[in-house]
A = this chain, B = another copy of it.
């Protein structure tokens, strides 16, 4: 138990840093400390990467980056002291340079205590850092190693997990279960403070929380927003309600997109609007992330585009308040096919590539970011045109299977209806048979298995690493399995060149997938 017999108050500072923006990150920490102190907190816990951003990968191996990190911690400690905030212990962590067993430069997790005007590294014993401050005996560890080295009870007043846990479907529930178990092992109250915000393909979820010594949740901050939770240990506090799965995914994607735009110095985005569901969802996400006025949709109909698709595109733009223009692509098609013979699939790809050229030109002219509309199903089987519909700096829905794209679109529309608003996505964009409209009467199912079959097959293969034998045993037709696995294999090079986008599963094409491009393995 804490030396202070009244319920000690801790502050969990869940916030959104920018990688390498030391000045801004430091100022935000000082602001949190000021608010924590004003609210009589006795400890301020900050997430992993608070000062530096996260993940840094190899940035700490550059001496000036590592030096600036060290200097900024010192400055932070000094400034907190000067501002009369030195009495508030602050705990944070980030990646710092080290030397590994092979005696080469490497990056390792490090944790720090800032107190009384100075910063001290918390050196771990058996993987756990122990600090004494303000009469407390606190065990501290980074979340990445939480499941490997549980804090075992040794008279701790508080176990503190300094987190940077990326979001994934059902991730917050799994994290909570792991934390409950950790608290029980520690036999002490356990605080978890998490990063929030988008950083390339990572979306950190927030949801900082406190568990009692029995592992019972006693406080939880909301997901996907910055927050300073002030919690009296031992008492129940506010528990942010759990949102439905679709709402969580939608907010994760919105935050990831908003942060990619802002942190890279863009203010607006541009995307193609075909009238199809993928570009519709991307457009609505963008409008929700940035405001409709900061988005530009371009309709680029070819002679194969249907009238209803053109109407759906324009209708969507109106509903979300996007800027909209239509540029028919026939003149460029004619110019190219006069220059070089392009029969069959070459002419289909030509249409997609002309659109890519137009989107990039629009981006060059106005400085906005091009969004790529690919979903996980089509990227998996290579059903997209590289340098065509694949152009863009960020792919907001690249980790959603096609069936999830529809589900999320429906959820967004029904959520709007619940609020008495006009649903943003035209119903026909959701209900019509999906088509690339690159030749007359084309539909996706000319080339692909039904998405109701394709998506579960892909999920099993990509996320559970189910192989041919297991997929067939699970009931997928052998012919379909062989076709899909071949497509996945031969499309690796295209995915390699695709934009990054937010990961919302345990394995996305941006994370936890490491396979060769040149690969002759097939089990058929």
Contact = CB atoms under 8 A, between A and B. Distances in A.
A80 B486 CA distance: 32
A28 B223 CA distance: 56
B361 A346 contact: yes
Interface residues of A, number: 82
Which of A18, A55, A350, A517 is the most central at the interface, judged by chain B CB atoms within 10 Å of its CB? A517
A54 to B, nearest CB: 9
Interface string A18-44: 111110000000000000000000000
B465 A61 contact: yes
Number of copies: 2
Given A62-B465, A499-B497, A515-B57, A520 B18 contact: yes
Contact of A387 (B22, B350, B360, B520): B360
A272 to B, nearest CB: 13
A419 interface: no
Interface in A33-92: 53, 55-59, 61-65, 68
Contacts of A393: 493
Contacts of A64: 467-469, 523
A467 B68 CA distance: 12
A469 B63 contact: yes
A340 to B, nearest CB: 6
A342 to B, nearest CB: 5
A99 interface: no
Nearest to A364: B346
Contact of A519 (B19, B354, B360): B19
A517 B470 contact: no
A520 B365 contact: no
Which of A58, A357, A391 is the most central at the interface, judged by chain B CB atoms within 10 Å of its CB? A357
Contact of A517 (B22, B335, B338, B500): B500
A487 to B, nearest CB: 15
Given A61-B465, A148-B101, A264-B518, A345 B364 contact: yes
Interface string A384-417: 0011000101000000000000000000000000
Interface stretch (A151-159, A204-212, A225-233, A326-334): A326-334
A168 to B, nearest CB: 16
A284 to B, nearest CB: 23
Contacts of A468: 64
Nearest to A68: B523
B19 A521 contact: yes
Contacts of A53: 516, 520
Interface of A: 18-22, 53, 55-59, 61-65, 68, 101-102, 147-148, 199-200, 259-260, 263-264, 327-329, 331-332, 334-336, 338-346, 349-350, 353-354, 356-358, 360-362, 364-365, 386-387, 391, 393, 465, 467-470, 493, 496-500, 513-523
13 contacts: A57-B514, A58-B513, A63-B467, A65-B467, A200-B518, A259-B518, A263-B520, A340-B362, A345-B364, A346-B365, A356-B387, A387-B391, A497-B498
Q: Enumerate the 4 nearest inter-chain pairs by beta-carbon distance, A residue then B residue, closest first.
A: A20-B521, A346-B364, A335-B335, A64-B467
Given A332-B332, A346-B365, 4 more contacts: A57-B516, A259-B518, A332-B339, A354-B357
